[in-house]
């Protein structure tokens, strides 16, 4: 009986220790690293955001911050995990998307702490050299994200191929098109992360693609892009945190490093104008 009891105690201890080990391996936001540095966990899209953060790692380490980058392939989970306190910050979204997400998710109490870079949305085509060249009834593929529509449709309006309802601006939707002489067919059922593969497989006559996914998908932006947002209207990509964390010193240091000359030079050199630093 004593032997059985001892074995039972050993089993309990083993399970308890395994659980502790599992929790530590999983990690959490905030806290300190083993070397005594402050730890920051930031969620980001793979390109260019995670690449920029990787470049910032040694600069942050010099300032006593160990940065862990978690890469996401969609636009939903980075905000969910930030809300759940698995991240200290995320870096992937624009003001329009952030506002829409907070409107749809009342438990998202987030705030932007810095504008880092801009990514002009582009219209890409394997068949035509300009929006004016698009034929009657051409199929235009856009993402299913409403916040993107208000950026994409004005590109077509500026080229003179559609006209939008007066005053809609960045809130434009397909139903706000009041003149469409070419009868362009705007399709809005595809996730943003799948747009590059849609383009490469020849779907549609033109595809509107977010720059981060165009870069990630290996698209030749200069060769295949036929129209882009004007630099005066491109929204910035933000570092976003929970409101309660906006004054944390580590967060302020993160933004300071991401806006430093070293990172600005890296962005300019690596992305050759496809990504633009916010001064």
Whether the bond into 48 is cis, omega within 30 of 0: yes
Mean of pLDDT values over 218-224? 94
Query: pLDDT band at residue 34, thresholds of 50, 70 and 90?
Result: low
- Between helices 146-158 and 95-104, what is the axis angle to 10°? 140
pLDDT band at 14 (very low <50, low <70, confident <90, very high): very low
Top CATH class of 31-119+235-277 equals alpha beta
Q: How many residues belong to the chain?
A: 279
Contact 226, 128 (CB under 8 A): yes
Q: What residues does each domain of the chain span?
A: 31-119+235-277, 122-228
Q: How far apart are CA 209 and CA 199, in angstroms?
A: 9
Tokens representing residue 240 in the block: 């976003």
Cα–Cα distance measured from residue 254 to residue 60, given in angstroms and rounded to the nearest whole number: 7
CA-closest candidate to residue 4, choices 48, 54, 12:
12
Matching CATH topology for 31-119+235-277 and 122-228? yes
pLDDT tens digits, 93-144: 999 999 999 999 999 999 999 999 999 999 999 999 999 999 999 999 999 9
CB 24 within 8 A of CB 31: no
**pLDDT at 227 exceeding the cut of 90:** yes
Identify the band that residue 83 occupies on the pLDDT scale cut at 50, 70 and 90.
very high
pTM value is 0.78
On whether the 122-228 domain is CATH 3.10.450.50, my answer is no
Read off the tokens for 182: 């070419």
Average pLDDT over all residues of the chain? 89
């Amino acid at each position: 009986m004593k032997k059985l009891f001892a074995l039972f105690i050993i089993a309990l201890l083993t399970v308890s220790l395994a659980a502790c080990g599992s929790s530590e391996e999983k990690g959490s936001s905030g806290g300190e690293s083993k070397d005594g540095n402050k730890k920051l966990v930031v969620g980001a899209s793979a390109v260019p955001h995670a690449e920029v953060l990787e470049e910032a790692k040694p600069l942050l380490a010099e300032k006593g911050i160990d940065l862990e980058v978690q890469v996401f392939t969609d636009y939903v989970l980075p905000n969910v995990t930030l809300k759940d306190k698995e991240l200290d910050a995320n870096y992937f979204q624009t003001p329009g998307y952030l506002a829409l997400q907070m409107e749809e998710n009342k438990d998202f109490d987030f705030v932007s702490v810095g504008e880092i870079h801009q990514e002009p949305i582009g219209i890409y085509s394997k068949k035509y050299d300009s929006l004016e060249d698009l034929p009657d009834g051409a199929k235009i593929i856009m993402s299913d994200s409403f916040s993107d529509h208000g950026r994409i449709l004005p590109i077509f309006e500026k080229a003179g191929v559609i006209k939008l309802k007066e005053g809609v601006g960045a809130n434009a939707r397909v139903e706000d098109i009041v003149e469409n002489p070419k009868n362009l067919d705007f399709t809005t059922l595809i996730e943003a992360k799948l747009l590059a593969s849609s383009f490469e497989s020849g779907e549609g006559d033109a595809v509107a693609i977010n720059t981060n996914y165009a870069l990630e998908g290996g698209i030749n932006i200069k060769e295949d892009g036929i129209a882009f947002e004007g630099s005066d209207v491109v929204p910035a990509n933000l570092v976003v945190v929970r409101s309660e964390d906006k004054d944390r010193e580590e967060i302020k240091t993160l933004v300071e490093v991401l806006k430093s000359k070293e990172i600005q030079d890296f962005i300019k050199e690596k992305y050759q104008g496809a990504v633009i630093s916010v001064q």
